[in-house]
Amino acid sequence: MFLENTVNHKEQFGWIEVICGSMFSGKTEELIRRLKRAQFAKQQVEIFKPMVDKRYHEEMVVSHDANEIRSTPVPAAANIRILADTCDVIGIDEAQFFDDEIVTVCNDLANKGVRVIVAGLDMDFKGNPFGPMPSLMATAEYVTKVHAVCTRTGNLANYSFRKTHNDDLVLLGETGEYEPLSRAAYYKAMLKERVREIDVDVEELPQTKKDANA
């Protein structure tokens, strides 16, 4: 369980918290919870998200359960450093979509005494580490991995399976495009996808080659 620290005015250093997991695991919900607690404590809070994320609102960070908090969309990680100069607490949503400079930005802010809370997908739809998230998790003082519930087995899910046939790494979506799966369900789903791709490749072969293979 995450134990929230407090600002230590005698030691002018902050820290980094990372909230990671699959789609529909409650990452943004947990980010908003921590940020609203800081706001209630009258701390100076700013929230940032990548400008590409416009699924629910242009400016608001919105969780899948419609919980929300106002944010500042930015095109690159460098903008956060400029805009976060006077803050006690910084929140960053969808961190996987930022450039690698986000790691340096978060560490620089923490070294200046800022509490930095980052939320993002730790793996992409192929099951690979996603963007700068591994480096953020490695340098953070606190890492919280949250889980969804697998839609096929009911077990804990930590994979984001893409249901649409699109190989773009960045594809913002909801339940129509993704579903959370457990390791076993994800493995079976990906195996089925590979078989489907092989069948498609065979169908696209010239007729003479298909007859020869038969």
Active-site residue set: 94
- Cβ neighbours around 139 below 10 Å, total: 14
- In angstroms, the CA 79 to CA 81 distance is 5
Q: Where does the chain show beta strands of DSSP type E?
A: 15-21, 45-50, 60-62, 68-70, 72-74, 89-92, 115-121, 142-146, 148-149, 156-157, 159-162, 178-181
- 70 in helix, strand or coil? strand
Give CA separation, 106 vs 42, 59, 116, 133, in Å.
22, 21, 7, 12
CA-wise closest residue to 180 among 146, 204, 152: 152
- The two tokens of residue 162 are 């893409």
